[in-house]
Amino acid sequence: MIISSGTLSSAYARATVTDSPLLVCSTPSETRCRYELTSQLHLNMSIYRLLSSVRRSSTITTAQPLFHFFHLTQNPVQNQSLNPQSPYLYRSFAFTSAEEAAAERRRRKRRLRIEPPLHALRPSPNSSPPARDPNGPRLPDSTSQLVGPRLNLHNRVQSLIRASDLDAASLLARSSVFSNIRPTVFTCNAIVAAMYRNKRFDEAVALFHFFFKQSNIVPNIVSYNNLINTHCDRGEVDTALEVYRHILANAPFSPSAVTYRHLTKGLIDAGRIGEAMDLLREMLAKGYGADSLVYNNLISGFLKLGNLEKANELFDELKERCLVYDGVVNATFMEWWFSQGKDKEAMQSYKSWLDRKFRMIPATGNTLLEVLLKHEKKTEAWALFEEMLDSHMPPNIQAVNSDTFSIMVNECFKLGKCEEAIQTFKKAGTKAGSKPFAMDVAGFNNIITRFCELGMLSEAEKLFAELSKKSLSADVPTYRTMIDAYLKAGRIDDALQTFTKMVESGLRVVASFGTRVFGEFLKNGKNMESAWLLTKMGEKDPKPDALIYDVVVRGLCNAGEFEKSCDILDQMMRYAVGVTPVLLEFVRDAFGKAGRIEEIERVLNKTRWAPPSTASPPRARPWGQPQQSPIEPPRNQMAAQHASVSPQMTGQHVSGSQQYMGSFNAAQVNHST
pLDDT in tens, 100-146: 888 888 888 777 766 666 555 566 666 666 677 777 788 899 989 99
CB 535 within 8 A of CB 574: no
626 vs 4: which has the higher pLDDT: 4
Residue 104 pLDDT: 84
Residue 116 pLDDT: 60
Residue 370 pLDDT: 96
| Res. 291: pLDDT tops 80 | yes
Percent of the chain with pLDDT over 90: 61
Supply the DSSP symbol for 620: P
| Res. 344: pLDDT tops 80 | yes
| Res. 89: pLDDT tops 80 | no
105-109, 128-132, 511-515, 531-535: least confidently modelled range: 128-132
Percent of the chain with pLDDT over 70: 73
What is the spatial distance between Cα 224 and Cα 252, in angstroms, rounded to a whole number? Answer: 13
What is the spatial distance between Cα 386 and Cα 524, in angstroms, rounded to a whole number? Answer: 49
What is the spatial distance between Cα 46 and Cα 50, in angstroms, rounded to a whole number? Answer: 6
Where exactly are the structural domains of the chain?
A: 5-89, 359-436, 439-508, 635-672
Residue 182 pLDDT: 95
- The type of residue at 375 is H
CB 641 within 8 A of CB 611: yes
CB 350 within 8 A of CB 330: yes
- Non-local CB neighbours of 673 within 8 Å, separated by 6+ positions: none
What is the spatial distance between Cα 113 and Cα 111, in angstroms, rounded to a whole number? Answer: 5
pLDDT band at 441 (very low <50, low <70, confident <90, very high): very high
What is the spatial distance between Cα 216 and Cα 57, in angstroms, rounded to a whole number? Answer: 83
pLDDT band at 30 (very low <50, low <70, confident <90, very high): low
CATH architecture label of 439-508 = Alpha Horseshoe (1.25)
Residue 44 pLDDT: 59
pLDDT in tens, 259-273: 999 999 999 999 999
Q: What is the mean pLDDT of the chain?
A: 81
CB 477 within 8 A of CB 445: yes
CB 259 within 8 A of CB 221: yes
Alpha helix positions (H), 198-291: 201-209, 221-233, 237-250, 257-269, 273-285
Burial of 609 (0-12, 13-18, 19+ CB in 10 A): exposed
CB-side neighbour CA atoms (13 Å) of 40:
16
Residue 135 pLDDT: 76
Burial of 478 (0-12, 13-18, 19+ CB in 10 A): buried
| Res. 172: pLDDT tops 60 | yes
HEC string of 592-605 equals HHCCCHHHHHHHCC
Residue 613 pLDDT: 53
On whether the pTM is more than 0.95, the answer is no
What is the spatial distance between Cα 553 and Cα 565, in angstroms, rounded to a whole number? Answer: 5
Q: What is the DSSP string of 375-409?
A: TT-HHHHHHHHHHHHHT-BTTTB----HHHHHHHH
Residue 549 pLDDT: 95
pLDDT band at 632 (very low <50, low <70, confident <90, very high): very low
Residue 490 pLDDT: 95
Supply the DSSP symbol for 141: P
Burial of 662 (0-12, 13-18, 19+ CB in 10 A): buried
| Res. 88: pLDDT tops 90 | no
32-36, 223-227, 421-425: least confidently modelled range: 32-36
| Res. 508: pLDDT tops 70 | yes
pLDDT in tens, 244-262: 999 999 999 999 999 999 9
Burial of 546 (0-12, 13-18, 19+ CB in 10 A): buried
498 vs 8: which has the higher pLDDT: 498
What is the spatial distance between Cα 567 and Cα 549, in angstroms, rounded to a whole number? Answer: 11
| Res. 38: pLDDT tops 70 | no
